[in-house]
């Protein structure tokens, strides 16, 4: 399927995307001392043929830098480092958003910079997750986070706003808020990690307040047309159990984030193979509730992506062109990680390189910038 709908242009806020393929955000742990560098600029520039690149998770705060060697965006040095990346991507003809990821309770104190604290909506321990710490040379259990005081909740929102402003300063085309995968924003959304009974928890609406207020405040600072959010309904990563209020929670979020003027909603498809009907319905209702562009991610190849981008497509055996497409854009993670020229490979119907997971988070160029292109 060389000339599929994946290669159609798409208007996303101020950007004209040359195709409908987004590079999914992927933590790669190459930023020693939390500052982006020339190697990272090379990695992202290699992938500039994506319609849009979303960076790895970037912490807006010293408190949110829970993993080893992930980058930040609160200091001038970090802004300077990111400028290398945005300039290299733009020079190569690409477009790039920064993903703001505050790890909240999913953090080891030994990974945080000086003065950083492990904070979360409530003091709820991770039972099984262990985390890599460079100084220990191995993985360690994660100590329980401190419950945020109301002033610390307000401060965290201000950190997102400041980091988003820094992102523009560093030359990014926009920002994605990471509201998925069990990090700080989802820790507020989810009843397992949000045990608060104050203005920031207790009901669906108050649990969603942190996500919505952060989005509203960042949109006011940089423009909703430069802001997206990622969500993972039915996601269980980082010990987030399923619960009874998932559907009403995510319909509420989609509506409110649409009203906040966000340019896209980026939903990690809970189970692309054999999705139960209830979850299909939730995706459809989120798409209906949300006014902007809808991005689906997780387990896509060229064929499945083209199906969800096509009106009436996406369900085996159903072909009703009067039904809207399930998505406007599709994000690819591991395929982009292992194939810098993913779009060209799709265009030619060529084989893909296999990712090397043992090098996903290791320092250095190996397994990072050395995946070959077709022409290499």
Which residue among 314, 333, 340, 367 contacts ligand FMN (CB under 6 A)?
A: 333
Among 26, 92, 155, 338, binds ligand FMN (CB under 6 A): 26
- Rounded to whole angstroms, the Cα distance separating 314 from 307 reads 5
**Site size toward ligand FMN, by CB under 6 A:** 22
**Cα gap 135→132, rounded to integer Å:** 9
Rank residues 201 and 240 by Cβ distance to ligand FMN and give the closer one. Answer: 240
Taking contact as CB under 6 A, which single stretch among the options 148-156, 162-170, 295-303, 318-326 is the one that binds ligand FMN? 295-303
Find the binding residues for ligand FMN in span 40-79 (CB under 6 A): 56-57
Between the two ends of the chain, the Cα-to-Cα distance in Å is: 23
The least distance separating ligand FMN from the CB of residue 48, rounded to whole angstroms, comes to 18
Closest residue to ligand FMN, judged by C-beta, is 333
> DSSP alpha helices (H): ranges in 234-366?
246-259, 277-289, 302-309, 334-338, 342-348
Interaction of residue 193 with ligand FMN, rule CB under 6 A: no
In the numeric block, which tokens belong to residue 281? 């319905």
Is position 34 an interface residue for ligand FMN (rule: CB under 6 A)?
no
With binding defined as CB under 6 A, does residue 298 bind ligand FMN? yes
**Burial 71-98, CB ≥16 within 10 A → b, else e:** bbbbeeebbebbbbbbebbbeeebbbbb
Residue 62 has what DSSP assignment? G
Annotation says 183 is catalytic: yes
268 near ligand FMN (CB under 6 A) = yes
> Contact between 237 and ligand FMN (CB under 6 A)?
no
| 313 Cβ neighbours under 8 A, 6+ residues apart | 306, 307, 319, 325, 326
Rank residues 167 and 196 by Cβ distance to ligand FMN and give the closer one.
Answer: 167
Q: How far is the CB of 233 from ligand FMN (least distance, A)?
A: 13
Of the candidates 208, 220, 191, 203, the residue with the CA atom closest to the CA atom of residue 253: 208
Binding stretches for ligand FMN (CB under 6 A)? 24-27, 56-57, 99, 101, 178, 180-181, 230, 268, 297-300, 332-335, 360
């Amino acid at each position: 399927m060389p000339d599929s709908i994946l290669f159609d242009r798409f208007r996303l806020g101020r950007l004209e995307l040359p195709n409908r393929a987004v590079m999914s955000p992927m933590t790669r742990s190459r930023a020693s001392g939390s500052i982006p560098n020339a190697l990272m600029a090379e990695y992202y520039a290699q992938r500039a043929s994506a319609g849009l690149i979303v960076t790895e998770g970037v912490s807006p705060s010293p408190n949110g830098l829970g993993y080893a060697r992930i980058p930040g965006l609160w200091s001038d040095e970090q802004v300077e480092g990111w400028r290398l990346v945005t300039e290299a991507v733009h020079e190569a003809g690409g477009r790039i958003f920064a993903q703001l990821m505050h790890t909240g309770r999913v953090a080891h104190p030994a990974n945080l910079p000086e003065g950083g604290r492990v904070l979360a909506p409530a003091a709820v321990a991770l039972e099984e997750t262990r985390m890599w710490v460079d100084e220990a040379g191995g993985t360690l259990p994660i100590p329980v986070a401190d419950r945020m005081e109301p002033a610390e909740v307000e401060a965290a929102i201000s950190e997102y706003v400041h980091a988003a402003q820094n992102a523009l300063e560093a030359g990014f085309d926009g920002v994605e808020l990471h509201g998925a995968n069990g990090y700080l924003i989802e820790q507020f959304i989810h009843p397992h990690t949000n045990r608060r009974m104050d203005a920031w928890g207790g009901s669906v609406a108050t649990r969603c307040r942190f996500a919505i207020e952060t989005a509203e405040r960042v949109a006011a600072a940089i423009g909703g047309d430069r802001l997206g959010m990622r969500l993972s309904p039915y996601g269980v990563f980082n010990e987030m159990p399923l619960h009874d209020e998932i559907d009403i929670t995510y319909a509420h979020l989609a509506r409110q984030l649409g009203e906040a003027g966000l340019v896209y909603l980026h939903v990690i498809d809970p189970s692309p193979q054999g999705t139960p009907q209830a979850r299909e319905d939730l995706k459809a209702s989120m798409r209906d509730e949300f006014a902007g562009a809808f991005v689906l991610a997780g387990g896509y190849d060229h064929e499945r992506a083209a199906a969800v981008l096509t009106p009436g497509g996406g369900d085996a055996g159903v072909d009703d062109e009067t039904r809207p497409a399930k998505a406007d854009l599709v994000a690819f993670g591991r395929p982009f990680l292992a194939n810098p020229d993913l779009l060209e490979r799709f265009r030619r119907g060529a084989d893909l390189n296999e990712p090397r997971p043992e090098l996903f988070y290791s320092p250095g160029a190996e397994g990072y910038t050395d995946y070959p292109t077709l022409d290499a």
